[in-house]
Amino acid sequence: MTASFMEKLIVQGGAPLSGKVNISGSKNSSLPILAATLLTRDHCVIRRVPDLSDTNYMLRILGELGAEVERASGVVSVKAGKVRHTAPYDLVRKMRASICVLGPLTGRLRRCTVSLPGGCVIGDRPVDLHLRGMEALGADVQVDGGDIRITARGGLRGATMNLMGKHGSTVLGTDNVMMAAVLAKGTTVIEGAAAEPEVEDLANFLIKMGARIEGAGTNRIVIEGVRELHGAEHSVIADRIEAGTFLCAGAMIGRGITLNRVNPAHLSVVIASLRQCGFVIEEGSDSLSIKPNKKAKGFDLTTLCYPGFPTDMQAQFCALACVIHDGSSITETIFPQRFMHVAELKRMGADIDLQGASARIRGGTPLKGAPVMASDLRASAALVLAALVAKGKTEIHRLYHIDRGYEHLDEKLAALGARLERLPS
Ligand code: EPZ
């Protein structure tokens, strides 16, 4: 279900949370895995695809590229019998992550034209590392008129390359190179590869399609090219960032909540950070439980590539820091401008001092409800968290940012006891 642009969320703060919540499939796993279905003319079935505007955009892009696409709740079936080589500008410009069709189109068709993704509120979103990888595989890359044009008439050749950039490794860049290299002639070695669980999940899907990949989930991935790939079925991993967001909610207010259908191993640094603050977290094989702790201590964190502290949890931890009666600090090294949430949290009374890419939060000052504006996906989640504890009513405008990446967040929070409702703005 995608919200209209003009919807808002009204939250009455102070309602205690309790009970259980099922975590959805991962948005950041679903997007590249859906793109990977372009690599075969056979039928693919992807399960646990969350119902988000971002995943729905990707389905529209696959359809516009010529694939037959069907979605029945969380199950998506794709048959890319024939595929056009040009990704439609009007769709690609709306979602940066659509850049991940670059690799499969190049791998399958040996050419493609994909519009340069725009930047977004968390900062400039360059793709130079993606293009470095394509060139290393022997493709000719031209960027003009806002389009990336890739041609590899003689096919792609395996190569050794390093995809590390000044802000570390690139998740979608690693995905794109992997999706092109699986059909290249010979061996590809990606040094400085992103090690995120979503990269490993994509590799596991490609291996089910007949690809030969070793080392996914580490910083060195080796791919043996094959002649063609066949259809496969796959269930995407749990969304570790949605899970981390709910862990923050459970730490901030209520009598304790339990998250089900999660993979604790994908959240180890988030769990360790919460435990270091003094929050008690019980870990099951696919569940996590947490409750508030009035004596929790502040934290001092820096965002890093996986397995370091994830940038996608930075805003949510800023909101958590507001309710810890101590000082905390968080430094953002992946997207240094990713602090859209700070000004809005300060409107609610948060005491935050932003110096460059570091935020210092003095927690404990009571938050008060206020009209605030959602901006990027995770900043918006931070505002919802703050609204749950703020005194009085908070109105969060531009709800579509939340619907991009959180499946039914308001309904899941309401089921845990939160008092909120979605209204036209
Ligand atoms: C993925 O984006 C995620 N999106 C982001 O989640 C996440 O924040 C990011 O990885 C980092 O973990 C999806 O998976 C769909 P990057 P991606 O390439 O792959 C720089 C969310 O909230 N860089 O790993 O686009 C870049 O500017 C979203 O769900 C280059 O310099 O991010 C950044 O500073 C937001 N050149 C750093 O690397 C390049 O060619 C990491 O970016 C590519 C990236």
C-alpha to C-alpha distance for 67 and 78, rounded to whole angstroms? 7
DSSP-assigned letters across all residues of 164-226: -BTTB--HHHHHHHHHHHTTSBSEEEEET----HHHHHHHHHHHHTT-EEE-BTBSEEEEE--
C-alpha to C-alpha distance for 392 and 165, rounded to whole angstroms? 45
Q: In what order do the strands lie in the sheet with 43-47?
A: 68-72, 75-79, 43-47, 233-235
Q: In what order do the strands lie in the sheet with 419-424?
A: 371-373, 393-397, 7-12, 419-424
C-alpha to C-alpha distance for 225 and 202, rounded to whole angstroms? 16
Ligand 1 atom 25, closest CA: 172
Would you state the pLDDT for residue 283? 98
Residues in the chain: 425
pLDDT averages per 10-residue partition of the chain, 425 residues: 70 98 98 98 98 94 96 96 89 86 97 84 86 98 92 96 96 98 98 98 98 98 98 98 98 98 98 98 98 98 97 98 98 96 97 98 96 92 98 94 94 98 92
Would you state the pLDDT for residue 3? 47
For a pocket test of ligand 1, which of 94, 125, 237, 407 has the largest count of ligand atoms closer than 8 A to its C-beta?
125
Q: Centre a 10 Å sphere on the Cβ of residue 55 and count the other Cβ atoms it contains.
A: 25
Rounded distance from Cα 173 to ligand 1 centre (Å): 8
Question: Is the CB of residue 78 below 6 angstroms from any atom belonging to ligand 1?
Answer: no
Question: Is the CB of residue 377 below 6 angstroms from any atom belonging to ligand 1?
Answer: yes
Q: Which atom of ligand 1 is nearest to the CA of 336?
A: 34
For residues 310, 321, 421 and 30, what is the CA-based torsion angle, rounded to 10 degrees? 0
Ligand 1 atom 41, closest CA: 170
Burial tier of 81 (Cβ tally within 10 Å: 0-12, 13-18, 19+): exposed
User: What are the residue numbers of the active site?
Assistant: 120
As given in the structure block, the two tokens for residue 358 are 């570091």
Q: Which atom of ligand 1 is nearest to the CA of 122?
A: 35
As given in the structure block, the two tokens for residue 132 are 């470095």
| Bridge partner list, 160 | 189
Would you state the pLDDT for residue 82? 93
Q: Tokens 């988000």 belong to which residue?
A: 52
Q: Tokens 């949290």 belong to which residue?
A: 345
The domains found in the chain, sorted by start residue, are 4-24+238-424 (3.65.10.10), 27-235 (3.65.10.10)
For a pocket test of ligand 1, which of 120, 171, 174 has the largest count of ligand atoms closer than 8 A to its C-beta?
171
pTM: 0.97
Would you state the pLDDT for residue 403? 92
Short-list 416, 401, 317, 407, CA closest to 122: 401
Q: Which helix H or strand E contains 409, and what residues bound it?
A: helix 409-415
| Alpha helices (H) along 253-362 | 268-277, 314-323, 340-347
Would you state the pLDDT for residue 127? 94
Q: Which atom of ligand 1 is nearest to the CA of 124?
A: 27
Question: Is the CB of residue 126 below 6 angstroms from any atom belonging to ligand 1?
Answer: yes
Question: Is the CB of residue 127 below 6 angstroms from any atom belonging to ligand 1?
Answer: yes
Rounded distance from Cα 171 to ligand 1 centre (Å): 6
3-state secondary structure of 298: coil
Q: Tokens 């130079």 belong to which residue?
A: 128
Q: Which atom of ligand 1 is nearest to the CA of 405?
A: 29
Q: How many CA atoms lie within 13 A of 240 on its CB side?
A: 23
Residue 414 vs residues 11, 20, 388: alpha-carbon distances, Å = 10, 11, 11
Would you state the pLDDT for residue 354? 98
Ligand 1 atom 4, closest CA: 28
